[in-house]
Amino acid sequence: MRYELLYEIAKPVIEAVGADNVLRSIVESTAKGTGSKGCSILTLSADGLTLEHLVSYGLSDTYLSKGEIAVDESIEELLSGTPVNIINVANDPRIQYPEQALREGIASLLSIPIRGTSGDILGLLRIYTTKVTKFKKGEMDFLVSIADLGGIVLEKAKAYDTLMRHVDDAKCEIEKLEDDREEFVQFLSMVAHDLKAPVGAVESYLKVMLRGTPGPLTEKQETWLRRSIVRLDGMLELISDLLDVGRLETGQVAPEMQMTALGEVMDDCVETADGLAHQKQIRIVAEVAGDLPVVYASGKRLAQVINNLVSNAVRYTPEKGTIAIRAGLDGDYLRVDVEDDGSGIGPEVMPRIFDDFFRGDHDADGTGLGLSICKRVVELHGGRIWAESPAPGSDRGTRFSFTVRLRRTGAME
């Protein structure tokens, strides 16, 4: 009962002012309350062979630095849980530094074990008096409660130190992961850059061959060439996406930021959407506000996001379906929705759709980087992107939404 009560009393105080401050307050208040010269809290060293002053009040630096306190038989008695009152320091053989104690003006000592909430001994509460003093049982019982309070605080301090070590270790790991990621992105960008030119050249040569410029081709040769060109197109798409990831991660898109008319961007995207949807006879419904402002943004990148979302919607919308594109102001943000009435996204897939290289449908074309690039672009513009499936107000389809902050000048946050 006593531990629970002390814990409930100590918890808010510790959280409010910190464990170190509470420990210092304990030794100062104990010394003053008992009319003693001083008070200290000692803890065991890591090897358990010595005691070390953690906090003290009323003792000189000379006395505190007198030397290490070995864990001898008298200390072992304390660590077993029994308080020890050395009434006369001058002639008690248990005193390890009698001359220093006398020079400090210490006549008597009372040492009380500090217990943790589980009963284990964490250290000692030691009281120093200038007069020969034999503490009464009632006084010792009260001081044992003070020592128990110190034990609760020590446990809190130890837990906090452990937590801080874990936090520091985690920070180091995060920094290392960030450095490794940056190096990896730079490596990908370099490889993609070096691959783009030769792959593009090979594709050009194959197209020249397909046109029959070097000479006539058999039907089988034409088939193989067309298949090769499709494969190279896919590789060039991957290379372009990798280059985009590198540029976005390393801030190379900053020169693209300029004053941009959002209305013009949306008009171009709606026109592009009509072209993407034409082959499947999908109807594009555009609801674009007429008061979209001129803001500081990358029109090229915002168009990339919208076109990517529309392209995905076309891929998963059945023939003669409908895709809605909506854009308007939402406070200090532009909000864009791209909604389809297609097959939707399963709940098991939804949490990963913006991950690099993730493809929910492994049979579908694409690099798995489109949505992750969209996320990077949106966040670069101070916004966020999310998906809802089924689309709100419907039992099917998907709605992708994103917002971007409306910056009226070139100042970036």
Per-residue pLDDT at 363 = 55
Q: Which stretch of DSSP H or E encloses residue 106? A: none
Element (H, E) at 21: helix 19-34
Question: What is the pTM (predicted TM-score) of this model?
Answer: 0.55
Task: Report the mean per-residue pLDDT for the chain.
Answer: 83
Picking from 385, 374, 344, 375, the residue whose alpha carbon sits closest to that of residue 361 is 344
CA–CA separation, 370 and 355 (whole Å)? 10
The pLDDT assigned to 148 comes to 83
CA distance 327 to 77: 78
Q: Write the CATH number of the domain with boundaries 2-167.
A: 3.30.450.40
Question: Residue 3: pLDDT above 60?
Answer: no
**Of 87-101, 145-159, 254-268, 360-374, minimum mean pLDDT range:** 360-374
3-class state of residue 302 by DSSP = helix
Which pLDDT belongs to residue 369?
83
Per the CB < 8 A criterion, the answer to whether 267 and 202 are in contact is: no
pLDDT in tens, 5-41: 444 445 544 554 567 788 888 888 888 888 999 999 9
How high is the pLDDT of residue 78? 76
Residue 116: strand, helix, or coil: coil
Spatial distance between the Cα atoms of 187 and 147, rounded to a whole number of angstroms: 59
- Segment 388-399, tens digit of pLDDT: 999 998 888 999
Q: What does the block give as tokens for 228?
A: 């090769």
pLDDT for 211 equals 82
C-beta atoms surrounding 189 within 10 Å: 19
Question: Given a cut of 80, is residue 87 above it in pLDDT?
Answer: yes
- Residues 6 or more apart in contact with residue 175 via CB below 8 angstroms: none
CATH topology for 255-405 is: Heat Shock Protein 90 (3.30.565)
The pLDDT of residue 387 is 94
Q: How confident is the model at residue 361 (pLDDT cuts 50, 70, 90)?
A: low
Integer Cα distance of 51 and 53 in angstroms: 7
Q: Does residue 1 register a pLDDT over 50? A: no
First to last CA, the chain: 55
Three-state DSSP state, 328: strand
- pLDDT per position as a tens digit, 318-355: 999 999 999 999 888 999 999 999 888 888 889 998 98
CB of 316 within 8 A of CB of 342? yes
Diameter of the chain by CA atoms? 117
Lowest mean pLDDT among 248-257, 345-354, 373-382, 396-405: 248-257
Residue 150 has pLDDT above 90, yes or no: no
DSSP string, 366-401: S-S-HHHHHHHHHHHTT-EEEEESSPTTSSS-EEEE
Please report the pLDDT score of residue 119 as a whole number: 79
